[in-house]
Homo-oligomer: A and B are copies of this chain.
Amino acid sequence: MEDAEALDAVFAALANPTRRAILARLSKGDATVNALAEPFDMSLPAISKHLRVLEQAELITRSKDAQFRPCRLNAERLKDVALWTEQYRHIWDARFDAMARAIEDLRETTDDQGTGMGEDHA
């Protein structure tokens, strides 16, 4: 997990609207290749290639059912993405900053047992 090469493949796979749409579809349940291809104005081999990219990035898995190849979402890799972005959360999340400041304030007030009142900020 959290491996650099794996992240390369996952981000590259996600950098395409067709593939993201396929993932969105699969989040509602498994589907065959033809079912996944239906919404797109694109040849079936093109979809097949997109699925291969998603599979190699481990964003989906494929099984066999007669001549059908039902696809299933593998959310583990999306979790990896979420975990990767977490390291930057403190930069964009105001709540995170507010919490950090609150912790700092708490530390200060317990340090010198001062007035504890008279602060401002929104």
Contact = CB atoms under 8 A, between A and B. Distances in A.
A113 interface: no
A107 interface: no
A113 to B, nearest CB: 30
A115 B92 CA distance: 35
A91 B91 CA distance: 26
B15 A8 contact: yes
Interface residues of A, number: 30
Contacts of A91: 27, 73, 75, 78
Interface stretch (A30-38, A44-52, A62-70, A80-88): A80-88
A117 to B, nearest CB: 22
A17 interface: yes
B27 A4 contact: no
Contacts of A9: 15
